Structure 1
Amino acid sequence: MSSEDFDRRFDAGDDISDLIDWGAAERINDIERVALDLPGWRVRRLDRLAAESGTTRQALIARWLAERLDGAA
């Protein structure tokens, strides 16, 4: 089934539960907090890069980590 067909069925309110592999599903809202110790100069650089990107330090770090982890084998 194409993604367009899947989306169409979902948008129409059809029962799509038989099309999902629930065993492989991951909870995307399962958030855990972590602490990260960095030198002050690195935090200031992060803040500068985040401001240039129009985002927050936390969002920038999260995006970078996701990119790195998604690209890992």
Structure 2
Amino acid sequence: MKASEFDKKFDDGEDIIEYLDLSQAKRPQFNQINLDLPNWMVEKIEQEATRQGLTQQAILQNWIAEKLEQLQA
């Protein structure tokens, strides 16, 4: 199956599980950290999360991932 056909099935809401090879699938491992931030930073993060329609956690994960990629370049 071509990627475009797969994408169309997914976009159309069809069940695509039969097309996936889950034998090698692994759950990502996570570590939890505590981070103390000043109120003004938390407010800015909340505003940006709302603007993008994401959770605060998703915003922070994206920002950290972007910064780590920049550091590797």
Same fold per superposition (TM over 0.5): yes
User: Which residue is 1:42 aligned to?
Assistant: 41
Per the TM alignment, residue 28 of structure 1 is displaced from its structure 2 partner at its CA by: 6.6
Q: Could you say if the C-alpha distance between residues 32 and 63 of structure 1 is closer, same or farther in structure 2, counting changes exceeding 3 Å?
A: same
In the TM superposition, what is the alpha-carbon distance from 1:71 to its structure 2 partner? 1.8
- The residue type paired with residue 39 of structure 1 is P
What letter matches 1:69 in structure 2?
L
Q: What RMSD in Å do the two structures reach over aligned CA positions?
A: 2.5
Q: Secondary structure at the match of 1:45?
A: helix
Q: Which runs of 5+ in 1 are unaligned?
A: 5-10, 14-26
> Partner of 2:35: helix, strand, or coil?
coil
Query: Which string of whole-angstrom CA distances, capped at 9 and with x for unpartnered residues, describes residues 23-43 of structure 1?
Result: xxxx77010001110011110
Q: TM-score with structure 2 length normalisation? A: 0.60
Q: Which residue of 2 aligns with 1:29?
A: 28
How far does residue 65 in structure 1 lie from its aligned partner after superposition?
Answer: 0.3
How many residues matched? Answer: 52
Which of structure 1's runs of 4+ aligned residues deviate more than 6 A? none
Matches of 2:61 and 2:54, distance apart in 1: 11
1:14-67 Cα shifts (integer Å, max 9, x gaps): xxxxxxxxxxxxx77010001110011110110001000100111000000001
Q: Name the TM-score, length of structure 1 as normaliser.
A: 0.60
Q: Which residue of 1 aligns with 2:13?
A: none
